[in-house]
A and B are shown apart, each in its own frame.
Chain A
Amino acid sequence: MTAQVTEELLYKNQRLSMCDEPLALWISKNKTKCNFGITSSACWRGYVGTWQVIDNHLYLIELSAVSQNGDSLSLSDVFDGQEKVFAHWFNGEVRCPEGKLLNYVHGGYASTYEKDIFLTFKKGVLVSERTHVNGVGESGSPEGYGISAFTVMPISGDK
């Protein structure tokens, strides 16, 4: 599988790349609302969400997707007019890599970077944070999460 574009997380005034998909459980229970078109091999899930931690609670604040007809879909389209959604269903640890690239892996979220910030949520509430240093990148190594190559796929509604 091609390396995947991450979700985005706004946390402590930083915009982080988040290598986890907190929306997955909600989508699995609302499949008819989430008939997303796949437009790239770098995004098999068919959407990119922007999340924010507000008062220690995890909120989805933006969603970018297209339907299988090629129509743009936003958060309010998928969540019936809501502008923010509290992810009360999410349990688990999210990984947000930072710094220079140490080892590129062209699959999933497997590449490693200088530092990982791990945030743990219980029922969508932030319960702990830790940082793990993986190493020091070489000078000239790319800074921040990136993908080297992907295939763009047309969807049936593309004109």
Chain B
Amino acid sequence: MTPLVALAAQSLWNRRGSAALTVFAIAVSVTLLVGVETIRGGTRESFARTISGTDLIVGARSGPINLLLYSVFRVGDATANVSWQSYELVSRHPDVAWTIPISLGDSHRGYRVMGTSGEYFLHYRYGDRQALAFSAGEPFKDAGDAVVGADVARELGYAAGDEITLAHGIGAGSFTGHDEYPFRIAGILAPTGTPVDRTVHVGLDALAEIHEDWQGGARTQVDSSRHPHDGDAPEDAGADTATQPSPAGITAFLVGMRSKDAVLQMQRALNEFRGEPLTAIIPGVALQQLWQIVGVADGALLVIASFVVLAGLIGMLTAILASLRERRREMAILRSVGARPLHVFTLMLLEAALLALAGVLVGVVTAHAILAGAAPVLAGRYGLFMATDGPRVYDLLLAGAVVGAALVTGLVPAWLAYRNSLADGLTIRT
């Protein structure tokens, strides 16, 4: 067997030009297949992992998927705010265990800023009910503190204690800044593989404070005495600790119920609330709805990728078949040195296997190299978090399937060569 493998390899090396092209065709198709499959797995996982343990998400009246996207995935924007009164009404309800206010709209060097309360670090859960953990520092204590996600800290090189400023609006280069209100990084969160990693968290009261002077979308006055770090303004410092300035509105809030049994009733009550048009969603339901939309597209992607692999294999078949005629002499020589027809058959099959193996190897490596390079873009722009820790068991299965399909395809030229060598013997009839 081993001499046959060597022989097949040498025979391919002799025709390395066309063999390389065949390998390339297979590699491209495998790259596509592995890429599509990794992205499919990644989307599914990052969708399902993003939020856990939250019973309801409440926002201004809009669609459930829109609310889920902006409140959890930080994609898109809210249509309106929720009034603070409504938030307080729900948070005081006897069946509600906790609420987390969310206020979006500002950015820091391309990363979304989320105003929230200390409850966030206590009650927010992702994955399998995992709590947020700190890799450095601690939750924010006063209005001048910020907590950044793992990706923000890594990519911008922040450490606990650094000072940052926020920009009004969203985008990497926002030109209307909040320069007069610097924040101190109080803590850095451990990586979660969710949009939390790419978020800058600040106190809700701080966010209200820095927008206080803003009227009609622009800053009207700069009052430096409101500087959050101005400890020497006694009445201001008192206000920070005693009566926190309650914001006029928040973007959305998360609700945890004391008992799951009350979730449906509470959702109904919020959706029917006359005081303000609200939308309340159950995260699991909205995730499922979102997945049903995205799932169709990713099913289609798999079909396309499979067809590309099929095309690659047909390319290999064509290349081997085309070489058969010119290699009749080679076969005759092999027969003359003692090769049996079965050896010829095996040789052709091994050739197909070697081509496919090389193609799969190149394809898997290329796919993972591309994915590793594209991961930050996918995470930043689409909120998709890929596992970029190299090939996984599933990739091996895919690779095995492609090689298997190549072997089946290789049966055709192998059979033809076998029959030819039986008919031709040592002399070629042309």
Partners in one complex: no
